[in-house]
Structure 1
Amino acid sequence: MGLTWIKMTSIRYFRCYSLDYYRVYGKTIVRGLTNYGLTCCINALLQSFSVTPELRELLNKYRPAEEAEQNNVPMQLKNTLRAMEDSNHHSSHRDFIDCLHHHSIYRSTEHDADEIFHRILNLTQKQMTDKDLAEEIRKLYEIKVETEVMCKECTLIQKTPNSLSSLPLAIHEGDNTLESCVQSFTQQQPLMYGDECYCDRCMMKQPSTHQLKLVSLPPVLCIHLKRFRNDGFTRKLRNRVTFGETLQMNIFNVGQSENAKEYYSLYAVIVHIGTALCGHYTTYIRPTHDHNWFYADDSTVRQATWENVQETYKGDRTAYLLLYRKMSGGASG
């Protein structure tokens, strides 16, 4: 099937094999992906990975053994992202879908984007024979946190370090901002009756408080807006949550003054459409070499605007995962 040039000067739109893709100065920016039966969640995540050059560069260093199986996730992810960049390649990611199916991420099953995000990263790290490279991928997304439990009787604080690959932020009734959600995440909370913690100083269980503190943030920050709540039945929260194209580091209160001048720049938004029981995932992405936003809905891609992204603040089409890239020395991206 031939290629048809449709529009614009530096940005060109093509349709090939029923898939859309855009090119700038001969380089593919974003291309559509076939839905192989409820694979919209995986398609949306692949779009976000495709505009994460930090991950692509690490995957490109991976040299699997010649006898590596088809069910090797890092190998299949590497091949898929390379094919998405090649305008002469029919970008079928069926091998990647089949590989995930082998690892119990089943075809024709609805999935949660945050869960699959974690499972793809975990499988990628686990199956890499190059453990140093696997560690670099882990650090790319690693959010270091510390749990502080304070005894209300003697004020002894017991600390436990932990790490996350995405920052899970609860949404409250009414209007929210990303900043207010972060503040709630790090707010000190009393442990309820029956959840008292053992105090090493008092040598007995005592009423306590619980607090999560952010210790350090990664080069790529994934934020999970927790829009699903179970109140006896699972429902989707459609409340307004505003977020910006940039975030200043000091809103996270990581306790390092030099971070005040560092910023995060938004480059991907994974959107959930529908209800808690029946939904669909799409993606807004902004490639690193371009200031334009693009919208990907399986095989269809189109140009978009920041105003389009802001429409995902609330309602039926809502932002679910936000991906920010750390930038130093200014807010421009």
Structure 2
Amino acid sequence: MRSDLHQPAAHRDFLHCLDRNHIRLDVQHDADEVFLSVLNLIQQQMDHRDLALEVQNLYKISLETQLRCLECSSVQTRSTFLLSLPLHIKEDHNSLEACMASFFEHQELRGTNSCFCPQCGTRKPSRQGVKLLSLPRILCVQLKRFRNMQGSTRKLDCRVTFPENLDFLEILREAFSRNFSQEECKYSLYAVVVHCGCATFGHYTAYVRHRVNRRWYYADDSHVEQTSWQDVQTAYGGRYRGTAYMLMYRRDSKEMDQQPGLSG
């Protein structure tokens, strides 16, 4: 159970900083868009360019897109990166692991979706796949709950389960590129951004896990209180409940595992 004692946390300076950088406080925002905007502002305003790049690299997911022509079998590849992983969810029960596997599934592109093949010299049916080149120290995941349908946006409150600990070697080994050389692929959940409300109106709260004492805390505006993993799981989704919208996982490190009091 949560404690009844609410502890205020300073937040107004941060909000005023957002407002001065044209992220207005009196309008509805998308949490993922604000997150990416803050990263972009850090890059623009930091004088130390190497340090700004290091901040970006904390979240950088490096990908390799492969496009194979279904007629001549030629392959085009290009490297790209994301700062958050956008995962589509079904209007039913979902799991984070299944959503990730779906993101890396091959897709056939035909008809109007056909791509230009340099070998054939014209647009041809093709198969597109995405492979992982590297994973970041902090993996940010966006659950795409907002869907545009017939000109209007609605929110999907369906259930999406997510684990407290994630091992990419177990769930996504086939999504690794041959150039993937990372050894540490285990992650621990440390933050969940929750959205309450509908597509046009709502409120964001967050669950955050303390890195030292490993306890979970619930933040609602300036109020912070201790909570539990069982309470975090209520954000899986369901009607009339707040639903997880963004997940942040931190890559496990041997240094952290070896510190006293951090096991388990």
TM-score by length of 2: 0.87
How many residue pairs are counted as aligned between the two chains? 248
Q: 1:198 to 1:180 in 2, by over 3 A?
A: same
How far 1:104 sits from its partner (Å)?
2.4
How far 1:299 sits from its partner (Å)?
2.1
Structure 2: distance between partners of 1:136 and 1:257: 19
Structure 2: distance between partners of 1:125 and 1:302: 32
SS in 1 for 2:58: helix
Counterpart of 2:247 in structure 1 is 322
SS in 1 for 2:67: strand
Counterpart of 1:299 in structure 2 is 222
Task: Tell me: higher relative CO, structure 1 or 2? Use CA pairs within 8 A at least 6 residues apart.
Answer: 2
- Written as runs of structure 1 = structure 2, the 5 A alignment for 1:137-152 is 137-152=55-70
- 1:278 equivalent in alignment to 2:201: yes
- Written as runs of structure 1 = structure 2, the 5 A alignment for 1:172-191 is 172-191=90-109
Superposed CA offset, 1:183-227 (max 9, x none): 110011112411211111112111112222221110011111111
How far 1:97 sits from its partner (Å)?
2.5
Contact 2:190/2:209 (8 A) holds in 1: yes
Contact 2:217/2:227 (8 A) holds in 1: yes
- Written as runs of structure 1 = structure 2, the 5 A alignment for 1:135-214 is 135-214=53-132
- Written as runs of structure 1 = structure 2, the 5 A alignment for 1:240-259 is 240-250=159-169, 251-253=171-173, 254-255=176-177, 256=180, 259=183
How far 1:318 sits from its partner (Å)?
0.6
- Written as runs of structure 1 = structure 2, the 5 A alignment for 1:1-333 is 20-21=6-7, 31-32=8-9, 91-94=10-13, 96-232=14-150, 233-250=152-169, 251-253=171-173, 254-255=176-177, 256=180, 259=183, 262-315=185-238, 316-328=241-253
SS in 2 for 1:187: coil
How far 1:290 sits from its partner (Å)?
1.1
SS in 2 for 1:221: strand
Deviates more, 1:200-209 or 1:112-121: 200-209
Contact 1:262/1:328 (8 A) holds in 2: no
Contact 1:214/1:252 (8 A) holds in 2: no
Contact 1:166/1:222 (8 A) holds in 2: yes
SS in 2 for 1:111: coil
Structure 2: distance between partners of 1:281 and 1:182: 24
Which runs of no fewer than 5 residues in structure 2 stay unpaired? none
SS in 2 for 1:205: strand
How far 1:321 sits from its partner (Å)?
0.7
Q: Which amino acid aligns with 1:198?
A: F
Q: 1:300 to 1:217 in 2, by over 3 A?
A: same
Q: Which amino acid aligns with 1:234?
A: T
Q: Which amino acid aligns with 1:246?
A: N
Structure 1: distance between partners of 2:230 and 2:161: 12
Q: Which has the larger radius of gyration?
A: 1
Superposed CA offset, 1:108-137 (max 9, x none): 011000000000011011110100110110
Which runs of no fewer than 5 residues in structure 1 stay unpaired? 1-7, 15-19, 22-30, 33-90
What root-mean-square deviation, in Å, do the aligned CA atoms of Structure 1 and Structure 2 show? Answer: 2.1
Deviates more, 1:97-106 or 1:306-315: 97-106
How far 1:107 sits from its partner (Å)?
1.7
Contact 1:223/1:323 (8 A) holds in 2: yes
